[in-house]
Amino acid sequence: MIFYFSGTGNSKWIAREVSVYQQEKMISIADETASRDAMLHYTLGESEIIGFVFPVYSWAPPAIVLEFIKKISFTNYQNHYIFFICSCGDEAGLTLQIMKESVYTKNWKWKAGFSVIMPNNYVSLPGFDTDPKELEQKKLREAVGEVQRINGILSDRTEMHFECKKGSLAFLKSRIINPLFNKFQVTAKPFYATDDCIACGLCEKDCPTHNIKVDGKPIWGDHCTSCLACYNICPRHAINYGKATIKKHQYFHPDYKNLF
Ligand SMILES: Cc1cc2nc3c(=O)[nH]c(=O)nc-3n(C[C@H](O)[C@H](O)[C@H](O)COP(=O)(O)O)c2cc1C
Comparing C-alpha atoms, which of 256, 258, 88 is closest to residue 164? 88
77 in the same domain as 127: yes
pLDDT at 260: 67
**145 and 203 together in one domain:** no
Residue with CA nearest ligand 1 atom 27:
7
Find the 57 Cα to ligand 1 centroid distance in Å.
Answer: 5
For residue 11, which atom of ligand 1 is closest to its CA? 26
For the CA of 56, the nearest atom of ligand 1:
17
Helix (H, G, I), strand (E, B) or coil at 105: coil
The CATH number assigned to the domain holding 237 equals 3.30.70.20
Ligand 1 midpoint to CA 76 (Å): 34
Q: Which of 154, 181, 208 marks a domain boundary? A: 181
The reply to whether 83 and 196 lie within a common domain is no
Orientation angle between helical segments 63-71 and 95-102, nearest 10 degrees: 20
Closest CA to 15 of 86, 80, 117, 73: 86
Atom of ligand 1 nearest to the CA of 14: 26
Total domains in the chain come to 2
pLDDT for the residue 258: 83
Task: Look at residues 165, 181, 197 and tell me which one is the last residue of a structural domain.
Answer: 181
214 and 100 belong to one structural domain:
no
Cα atoms found within 13 Å of the Cα of residue 204, Cβ hemisphere only: 13
193 shares a domain with 123: no
* Co-location of 43 and 161 in the same domain: yes
Mutation pick for ligand 1 pocket among 8, 56, 95 (CB with most ligand atoms within 8 Å): 56
Same domain? For 117 and 153 the reply is yes
Please tell me the predicted confidence (pLDDT) of residue 198.
Answer: 98
Compute the chain's Rg from CA coordinates: 18
- Looking at the structure, do residues 119 and 196 belong to the same domain, yes or no? no
Atom of ligand 1 nearest to the CA of 253: 25
**Same structural domain for residues 48 and 169?**
yes
Which one, of 99, 88, 85, lies nearest residue 58 by Cα? 88
pLDDT score recorded for residue 240: 97
Residues 37 and 62 in one domain: yes
131 vs 134: CA distance, rounded Å: 8
Residue 196: give the domain boundaries.
188-258
Q: Are residues 27 and 76 in the same domain?
A: yes
Please list every protein residue whose CB sits less than 6 Å from any atom of ligand 1.
Answer: 6-12, 55-59, 87-91, 118-122, 226-228, 253
Instruction: List per-residue pLDDT tens for the chain, 260 residues long.
Output: 999 999 999 999 999 999 999 999 999 999 999 987 667 899 999 999 999 999 999 999 999 999 999 999 999 999 999 999 999 999 999 999 999 999 999 989 999 999 999 999 999 999 999 999 999 999 999 999 999 999 999 999 999 999 999 999 999 999 999 999 999 999 999 999 999 999 999 999 999 999 999 999 999 999 999 999 999 999 999 999 999 999 999 999 999 888 86
Count Cα atoms within 13 angstroms, Cβ side, for 222.
Answer: 0
Examine the fold and report which residue of 129, 151, 181 is the final residue of a domain before the chain moves on: 181
User: Do 74 and 171 fall within a single domain?
Assistant: yes
